[in-house]
Amino acid sequence: MVSTQEQFEQVQAVKKSINTASENLKNQALLAMADHLLAATEEILAANALDMKTANGKISDVMLDRLYLDEGRIEAMATGIREVVALPDPIGEILETNHLENGLVITKKRVAMGVIGIIYESRPNVTSDAAALAIKSGNAVVLRSGKDAYQTAHAIVTALKKGLEETGIHPDVIQLVEDTSRESSYAMMKAKGYLDLLIPRGGAGLINAVVENAIVPVIETGTGIVHVYVDKDADEDKALSIINNAKTSRPSVCNSMEVLLVHEDKAASFLPRLEQVLVKERKEAGLEPVQFRLDEKANQYISGKAAEAQDFDTEFLDYILALKIVSSLEEAVEHIETHSTHHSDAIVTENQDAASYFTEQVDSAAVYVNASTRYTDGGQFGLGCEMGISTQKLHARGPMGLKELTSYKYVVTGDGQIRE
């Protein structure tokens, strides 16, 4: 096994081959990576079967779904890489130009970050998404997969490197950390001089550990305690459709809703309809019903388990929904501001004043009016596949596409000027 430190040194030695690569060369590399990913479908599925067998019984069914790959998902990964090819190359973009009185021309120019580290858990698609975005944005990348997904990630990276071998970009600009113990994660957190940026993608435990221990710059891709608020002026049919999608379409992802707030004027009419859609109809269809965690008021209208305080601060990533009745829009916003992780939060209302108040007062990376929070995604936002969803404000916020993986430099051009 190659040590993590040796991998840092390998990527440092070859990073210039990607940091300064032309757009044409990077696009050729990405197309070759997508082709080799598809060509390796059989090997990737075999590796994924090993990971699934090892993880079965150790993680929830919802988390197993995150880990699982089939031909369709691999095709989607390859499509995601090809979509990045079509995106504008941010490197070299001139952000500002200033002509000084002394004749100096100062140009602010977008450049690659350098080497980006990603620590993630059991989602194999992150491997290809991160590699593609890194290559297009001119960055080398060090990937540290969770142990549950390591065999799958290794097969994916092997295929991607074969694609790079067809170009002038050194294949070592993509590194998969071979050590899956905690020591390798801590090594990445302390890799000053080797990593220019570290991005954790996973649960609260992983993200908090990175934020608290890293001495390299970190972008916090926060957990998603995502709220939907059904206002007194909501269209109930819209609300049911949005909630059903936001909670049940894929509950294991960070943009799925975890908490529902309902205005008290809507509770009597709306909550029985909600129970019908999320519980009774799902049971009849042979699907897993949603389990409610209800505050005292909600408990008067539908069946469920009494909510405990921590239920409103929990990212369930499962078919579980915390539900609270509120007396006003202001109370809903106050609750969200207290409990949200500032990822994605939504209001359902036909009242424009209520919508405006909500979007101004809720301080989250993505704020929705009459739409599902499941749209918080780089692909859906037109950024191509994403590196993660930042819940901090510096230097990136929301879905991180290519531009969020760059920095800038000042190029100062003169004709012999000296400072007096």
Give me the CATH number covering residue 125: 3.40.605.10
Domain span at residue 259 reads: 226-375
- Angle, in degrees to the nearest 10, between helices 182-189 and 204-213: 40
- Average the pLDDT over 103-113 and give the result: 98
Query: Which pLDDT does position 409 carry in this prediction?
Result: 98
- Token pair 């905690």 in the structure block, residue: 182
Would residue 193 count as lying in a domain? Answer: yes
Residues 120 and 214 in one domain: yes
Q: What is the pLDDT of residues 91-101, one digit of tens each?
A: 999 999 999 99
Would residue 342 count as lying in a domain? Answer: yes
Residues 203 and 322 in one domain: no
pLDDT above 90 covers a percentage of the chain that reads: 88
| Residue 388: band (very low, low, confident or very high) from pLDDT cuts 50, 70, 90 | confident
| Residue 153: band (very low, low, confident or very high) from pLDDT cuts 50, 70, 90 | very high
Relative to beta strand 320-326, strand 257-263 is parallel
Residue 209, pLDDT above cutoff 80: yes
- Average the pLDDT over 330-357 and give the result: 97
Query: Which pLDDT does position 192 carry in this prediction?
Result: 97
Residues 361 and 405 in one domain: no
Entry field: residues in the chain: 420
Residue 20, pLDDT above cutoff 90: yes
Longest dimension (CA), the chain: 82
The Cα 11–Cα 193 span in angstroms is 12
| Helix ranges, 139-250 (H) | 150-164, 182-189, 204-213, 236-248
> What strand order describes the sheet that includes 115-120?
174-176, 140-144, 115-120, 197-201
Label each residue of 96-136 as H, E or C: EEEECCCCCEEEEEEEECCEEEEEECCCHHHHHHHHHHHHH
Q: What is the pLDDT of residues 402-416, one digit of tens each?
A: 999 999 999 999 999
| Residue 139: band (very low, low, confident or very high) from pLDDT cuts 50, 70, 90 | very high
Q: What is the pLDDT of residues 164-182, one digit of tens each?
A: 999 989 999 999 999 999 9
133 or 62, which is more confident: 133
Would residue 418 count as lying in a domain? Answer: no
Residue 132, pLDDT above cutoff 90: yes
Query: Measuring CA to CA, which residue among 128, 3, 12 is closest to residue 387?
Result: 128
Would residue 387 count as lying in a domain? Answer: no
Query: Which pLDDT does position 379 carry in this prediction?
Result: 80
Residue 385, pLDDT above cutoff 80: no
Span of 218-222, 295-299, 312-316, 365-369 with lowest mean pLDDT: 218-222
Show the tokens assigned to 260: 């529902």
Span of 69-73, 111-115, 254-258, 378-382 with lowest mean pLDDT: 378-382
Would residue 419 count as lying in a domain? Answer: no
| Residue 62: band (very low, low, confident or very high) from pLDDT cuts 50, 70, 90 | confident
- Average the pLDDT over 381-392 and give the result: 84
Residues 265 and 343 in one domain: yes
Residues 198 and 341 in one domain: no
Residues 186 and 270 in one domain: no
The residues, any chain, with a CB within 8 Å of residue 354's CB and separated by 6 or more, are 231, 233, 329, 347
Whole-number mean pLDDT of the chain? Answer: 95
The Cα 215–Cα 232 span in angstroms is 47
Residues 75 and 119 in one domain: yes
Residues 163 and 310 in one domain: no
Q: What are phi and psi of 98, to 5 degrees?
A: -120, 130
Residues 14 and 142 in one domain: yes
Residue 65, pLDDT above cutoff 80: yes
The residues, any chain, with a CB within 8 Å of residue 330's CB and separated by 6 or more, are none
Residues 189 and 315 in one domain: no
Show the tokens assigned to 89: 């190359």
Query: Which pLDDT does position 394 carry in this prediction?
Result: 87
Would residue 383 count as lying in a domain? Answer: no
Residues 138 and 276 in one domain: no
How many Cβ atoms from other residues are within 10 Å of residue 22's Cβ? 13
Cα–Cα distances (Å) from 29 to 38, 148, 236, in that order, read 14, 28, 49
Residues 278 and 324 in one domain: yes
The Cα 101–Cα 392 span in angstroms is 39
Would residue 245 count as lying in a domain? Answer: yes
The Cα 26–Cα 261 span in angstroms is 46
Q: What are phi and psi of 92, to 5 degrees?
A: 90, -5
Domain count, the chain: 2
The Cα 58–Cα 272 span in angstroms is 35
- In this prediction the pTM is 0.87
401 or 261, which is more confident: 261
Burial class (CB in 10 A: 0-12, 13-18, 19+), 309: exposed
Residue 355, pLDDT above cutoff 80: yes
Give the CATH number of the domain where residue 262 resides. Answer: 3.40.309.10
Show the tokens assigned to 229: 């608020």
Query: Which pLDDT does position 383 carry in this prediction?
Result: 78
Would residue 386 count as lying in a domain? Answer: no
Query: Are residues 141 and 131 in contact, defined by beta-carbon separation less than 8 angstroms?
Result: yes
Show the tokens assigned to 157: 């990276």
